[in-house]
Structure 1
Amino acid sequence: MQRVARYLYRRGNGYTFRRNIPAYARPAFGGITEYVRSFGDVTETKAKAQAILLGEHCTRLFDEARNKGQSKSKSSDIFRIKRTPDGEEIEHAVRTWLIKIETSMSETLLMERASADQHVRDLGRLDVEVVRVMRSRGGNAPLMTRWIAETLVEANDWTIPTDGPLRVLLEDRVARGQRELAARQRAELSWEDQPRPTHRMFAPEEFSRDKDTPAANPYRQPVPLKEVLEQYFAEQEPAANTVKKWTTALNSLIEHLGHDDATRVTADDIVAWKNGLLATNDNGERVRGQRTVRDGYVGAVRPVFEWAVSNRLIETNPVIKVRVSVPRPIRMRAEKGYTDAEAKTALLASLAIDCEADLSFFAFARRWLPWLCAYTGARVGEMAQLRAEDVAQTDDGIWYVIVTPEAGTQKGGFARKVALHPHLIEMGFVAAARKRSGPLFYDPKRRRAGSTGNPQHKKVAQRVAEWVRSLGITDKELQPNHGWRHRFITVARDVGMDPDVRREITAHAAKDQHGEYGDVFVRNSSRAIANFPRYEW
């Protein structure tokens, strides 16, 4: 028996495929130790083409058995899901077959230059025979064509009747694929330029589109997007507001797709969804801005698909190359934070709140949140979630607040201590906080069920922002809450606050790896805060 190619042997005029089966995969082959299939008396070119397909067939079974402990497939019934393809999927499969066979056979033929002339003649006869039989319309396609067609049906787990228009289409496309393969290989072996496509389905743009369209994976059951998201959340444990936002984004995608199968989502689907989100209403206005679509929708589903890829639920991430262009904002305002006049308006109005006359949580929030943000540069949500027990004193008498994820959300997920400005203590914040218990700025008893994605401290911050707007601070380029953070950093730079201490107070990331090391003592932040100018008028 003469070895002709990998797993392919010749005895007399017949060819046989032989491949040893590793122990872990034998259950998928009925317990046999070697898989043998005879091709009979066919040409060597045909035998090599079929050996390539059969080798891939075995490799798929080996991979499934290795990954899952024991293959759920059988050598006679490889895949689990049967489906009827459409014309587009059939053409895609034929192009995929063409590329695989062309690549493999070209490598083999280059090693056998002495027989190149014979291969050219064989390919010419194959082309003539395929055309003759297909033009005759006398019934069956050539035997080799039918053989390849049936191999594609098995490999893709299609269900196609042996007669009928779909089978005719499949054999027609396979025959055209044989002609295209013959034309390409004849040109290569004859040192000629590659010919023009023999059919529109082999145009370069069709192959380019195939690259962006993942082939149907016959090993996979449908992968529900909602289940993927739930598994991602279970592993990543994101904040409640992230869960809410990303769930909204994924539901939007599912509504656009009209299905919930992650394996069927393509890059074209994501682009169409993105364009729909960016569409204008009847007045020509965008319902959502580009930044919202980029960060809140496309940016939300991208890591979920990437997680699915890394966990081998799907083959590719259809979102990975989709981008949303966000115009560079045009700022008509010079200051990012509060101006002196705006700060004076907001803080004097806050100072005028009488918490003895108005015992509500919102009054307490209006009285102290603007001042806390002004003197700490903290995010308003971090201050709005403070509890009475988060106001504490060091052994050497320094008053501080601790911002901790235990109280709510904290960007970065780590606790930090922020020293209180002497002016805050003099105005009575510590004394007022110590008279209360639990959350300082909202009543936890009024929490509504299912509101974890929009927590109470966030609602308090939003209401305070609306109140600031009501004072006449209406510049849309100023963020009423975040503006204090900008102003704090601006003033801190002006008075020469140490950058490491400033970043510790505001919880901004370090500039390099060195900055991530060590801690900043509360006494260090206390000295820096004490040098921060007072807001007094």
Structure 2
Amino acid sequence: MARRKLSGESDVELSFRECVIIAERWYVRMRDEVESQGNMLSHVSRDEYELPNVSKGHQTFGLSDTLSLQGSEVERASEQQLDILGDELESNIASQLDIEGITVPKRSKSYRQLAVQFYHYLHKFERLCIARAQNDWESEPSPMKMVESPLKPKPLRSTSGVSENGLSEVYKKFRVSREVNSEGGEKVSKTLNETYNNIQRFISLHGDKDLVEVTSADFVVFRDTLLQLPKKKSQDVRSLPVAKQVEKAKKERLPTLSRAVAKKNFNLVSSVFTFAVELGLIDENPALKVKPPKIAKRIEAEEDRGYTSEEVTKLFSLPLFTDPNAPKKYGMACYWVPLLCRYTGARSGEILQLRQSDIDTDHEGIHYINVRRGEGQSVKNNASLRHIPLHDHSIELGFLEFVNGCTDWLFPDVPADKYGAKSTKFAS
């Protein structure tokens, strides 16, 4: 492990990410300590109370309740308030910095950021202590994703011409924040990668500016450029600067990004600027002064959406559905997924992520599919969480018998892509 000593005149600093890593390591160390000693209430107290005509209850109290900042106040705190918070958390911060072999001067930017991260992980630790005291040994407030990450404080770049509040640097903080505060999953990773790609497009147009220098005019150029970018890009197109990609699309009359995709990309970059407002780096988001690409409103459903009757007949006439011995690239997923999508209207990704336990029966004896979130399972939004009754024909074809023969995942033969989604490989 790299061992650093930072002083007031030091030429290195702790990054936002490193502050998160140090706080997470403190959490894991404290968790392992209380679990090994079995003294779950050494850091929190749990008092019972009883009111007239009311059942007994209990109240917990810990270090976090004594802090000068509570709730979201920490995100809006001034430097002076964060210095006070650092004093209140000094023993916890100092003990972990000792282990890391790092000395960070109090009243410094790095120390204030450490105080913020220790504040968040202290709350997680106290929730863990309460859960363990209640004999819950499975719950974890959040996955510890960064504890094994290396610490590599970098030299200050005061003379490099790149601001620490430049767009690329703020994006790094944005990504860490989203990873820490999200529930994880392929959707978050994919969105963060898409955000990064669009940040690079913005930088290609305007340079890696300090955020205070970015104007609404910059976003106007970015919006209009998105609408002119080629839709599908070969490797030789991807390697070109954004402006050159636009030129190539015009010259070769290539199809360009749809307005919906352009609007999404515009909003992804805007979200980083909103995050910068939350950090107090800028007073307002310049993107909010610019109208994103407008999407034309449809007045009725598109007639050509979905498959025609002829296409459906042709699909289910394939040997795959008529010959039990027909080869199946991805096992029984090749047979059941198209059928279930046809009868339920579910997305292929929703069907491909089903477990045996997701096929259930309600109180009226109706068999249904439970489309839900879970480990290795995700949905587009909350409205996608639903119970879908099984069609009688799918039951007649033996779907329930197929389910009973599975041990966990219904379609384990379908590989996932880098984001964990199976629908990409299945469709190829």
- TM-score when normalising by structure 1: 0.40
Larger radius of gyration: 1
Higher normalized contact order (CA 8 Å, seq sep 6+, divided by chain length): 2
- TM-score when normalising by structure 2: 0.49
